[in-house]
Amino acid sequence: MATRERRYVIIGNGAAGTTCAETLRKLDPSCEITLLTDEPYPLYNRVALPRYLKGVVREERVFMRTKEQHEEKGIRLLTGVVAEKVDADGHTVLLQDGRELPYDALLVASGGRANKLECPGAECCRTVFNFQTMDDTRNIIAEATAGKHAVVIGGGFISYELTDGFAERGLHTTWLMRGPRFLRRTLDEEGGAIVDALARDCGVEVCHGEEAETIIPKNGTVGRVRTTSGREIEADLVGVGVGLTLNVDFLEGTGVEIRKGIVTDKYLRTSVPDIYAAGDVAEFYDVAVESYNIMGTWDNALAQGRTVGVNMAGGSEVYHEVPTYTSTLFKSNIAVMGVTQDNRPDLESLTRADHDERQYKKLFFKGDRLVGAVTIGSPRGRKRMLALMHSGEPIEGPKEAVFDIR
């Protein structure tokens, strides 16, 4: 009897899903691969969206794959389709349009969707924006061109990107953060003050401990934002970076364990046979710190996409990378490496900061091992710190010596 080719279905064509599809194709030239997304596009670079918003890269440079490239590799790309349900016993993905996709192995690489601003008035203004997709970015650019004033809400990376993008486009920008600082669980007071200074150097007004209470509309767009302290701020646009909700609804009833994300072992296998998870949506077992970790970074999505492809094709590769988020930070830059007190509050930390020079380093230790770090400003020493985190080598002598690694 002729044997059937293996069938792989991948939900989500971001960095994790697309890398997995291409890894599978390399390892198994004859398997069937279906890659699906509810967005209308093949893979594009989310990390490049802020530069597109600022006008420093053209839209075509943001796209990373074409439909033709997928066809050439024999990867069936279905765009604009929604995975509605997974039948784990029947090994089938049910699409919203009624189609059923049988699988031998399934990857969930569905990332997250941006949380909407829950605030009276927001729902009736077309210039209140999230910043997650190509379409969000196109819509922001269309409205920002005529705008003069912007308010951004949130204390994480997406709100920073919006603030920087608006300021760079010449809008008078106010950045509202409910908490005491940017990345409040990762940085400390000194780090937060340096980020505020970098923002103010670029003409941004930074406000802490304030939230939007009401959005006051004007002709279908935003007119002003009233804050919880009673202040009214003029605004043509509002940018919203208040976190993600992971796309896991379609797994209901499958028995796949979900905590903060989809729980996987060190091979990126979920609790249900033949279902794997990777990228932003995965809460993976991180062998570097011997605990579960969730990491929304581009490099992590790429690296997990490759490892999970190997394992879906029958391999047994342990995922062992040091997740790293690098980004501009106004006229400076930031790197968040490894594990921080954001997901492991029990870690020991040490800080060195120079406010005038806008330089900052915070190191995170588990016992005598360096497991994470944040740097703002000079990137010197990052490579060797990453190597130390990867090797798990104990630090001999005073831990402060790590600050001076070059």
Shortest Å, Cβ 365 to ligand FAD: 23
- CA distances to 37, 82, 98 from 94, rounded to whole Å, are 13, 9, 7
- Kindly calculate the radius of gyration of the chain based on its CA atoms and give it in whole angstroms: 22
> Least distance from C-beta 3 to ligand FAD, angstroms?
30
Residues 10 and 109: beta-carbon distance below 8 Å: yes
Using the minimum distance from each CB to ligand FAD, give the nearer residue, 212 or 303: 303
Shortest distance, position 145 Cβ to ligand FAD, whole Å: 19
- For residues 101 and 371, which CB has a smaller minimum distance to ligand FAD in the complex? 101
CB of 19 to ligand FAD, least distance (A): 8
Nearer to ligand FAD, 52 or 267 (CB): 52
Closer residue to ligand FAD, CB minimum distance, 50 or 154:
50
Cβ-contact 133, 213 below 8 angstroms:
no
**Please, what sign has the CA dihedral across residues 188, 189, 190, 196?**
positive
Cβ-proximal residues to 212 (8 Å cutoff; 6+ apart), any chain: 117, 119, 122, 151, 153, 176, 225, 226, 227, 228, 238
Question: C-beta of 29: minimal distance to ligand FAD in Å?
Answer: 24
User: Which residue intervals of 169-255 are DSSP H helices?
Assistant: 189-201
CB of 332 to ligand FAD, least distance (A): 14
Closer residue to ligand FAD, CB minimum distance, 150 or 233: 150
Nearest to 182 by CA among 241, 234, 137, 235: 241
Closer Cβ to ligand FAD, 46 or 224, answer by number: 46
Coil, strand or helix at 206: strand
Q: Provide the minimum distance between the beta carbon of 370 and ligand FAD in the complex, in angstroms, as a whole number.
A: 20
The DSSP letter of residue 401 is G
Q: In terms of Cα–Cα distance, which of 171, 130, 136 is closest to 154?
A: 130
CB 279 within 8 A of CB 197: no
277 and 268 in contact (C-beta within 8 Å)? yes
Residue (39 or 205) nearer to ligand FAD, CB: 39
Alpha carbons 321 and 303: distance in angstroms, whole number:
8
Query: Which one, of 303, 342, 338, 319, lies nearest residue 264 by Cα?
Result: 319
| Residue 391 CB, nearest approach to ligand FAD (Å) | 22
| 342 half-sphere exposure, CB direction, 13 A CA radius | 20
Q: Which is nearer to ligand FAD, 16 or 263 (CB)?
A: 16
Residue (227 or 300) nearer to ligand FAD, CB: 300
The residues binding ligand FAD (CB under 6 A) are 11-17, 36-39, 46-47, 49-50, 82-83, 109-111, 131-132, 158, 161, 247, 250, 279-280, 296-299, 301, 325-327
> How near is the Cβ of 111 to ligand FAD at its closest, in Å?
2
